[in-house]
Amino acid sequence: MIQIIPAIDIIEGRCVRLSQGDFARRSTYPETPSEMADLFAAAGLTRIHAVDLEGAKVGAPRNLDVLKALSERGDLDIEWGGGIQNSADLDAIFSAGAGHVILGTVAATDPSFAREALKRFGPERIVLGADVRGKAVATRGWTETTEQGIEDLIRLFLPALKEVIVTQIARDGMFSGADVPLYRELMDLFPEVTFTASGGIGSIGDIRALEEAGVPRVIVGKALYEKKITLEELAAW
């Protein structure tokens, strides 16, 4: 059964969602991150995907107070990403209570640092976050697209790497369905890696399509905030 991971994207302490990674197309919601966490926990969803979008854009963590508040609840496993550049950032995020840290831009720009992080904290706590346009990796809060492909990025960290979140930017926030063929291809190429799908979820049918394809995890974001999928529906998982 596929694992549902609800998303909390954060700018200036507020819950937001972007469309196709465009900061100019931002929706801000009235619920606080803590209020959303309450709702997710009540529905039995205990692993939370939280991204410091503000930090991702400027290249340094900016919302660690939010992480600390979420982690102090004690009933949530927080995977946190955004703006991580060095060991001090990693230490600060783990100290604030993250269960897992997502390495995105820094994994593409400084692979040796990401390898060292995997060695130091282990693949159980370090997750590769690969944001892609097509198959090209994007960095710096999705504002830059590189020439590096997703497959080449993953290969840089094998065999240590165990978890990868792949976000298809063109579908993110668009409710157009997940890029199922991409996830099938990646799972075939890297059977030792646990993949999390992200981007495009707009209905329960989109989740079922991933589940039928064998994708083990999916992040659900804007569809929850816009009430296209209800927490009651997700409680089945």
Contacts of 42 (CB under 8 A, 6+ apart): 231
Phi then psi dihedrals of residue 98, to 5 deg? -65, 140
Please, are residues 42 and 234 in contact by the beta-carbon 8 Å criterion? no
Please, are residues 63 and 10 in contact by the beta-carbon 8 Å criterion? yes
Please, are residues 218 and 210 in contact by the beta-carbon 8 Å criterion? yes
Give the length of the chain. 237
Determine the 3-state secondary structure of 108 from DSSP: helix
Please, are residues 96 and 76 in contact by the beta-carbon 8 Å criterion? no
Residue numbers annotated as active site: 9, 131
Distances in Å between the Cα of 51 and the Cα atoms of 55, 104, 153, 186, 188 are 8, 11, 20, 23, 28
Q: Which amino acid, residue 54?
A: E
Closest CA to 137 of 114, 118, 117, 116: 114
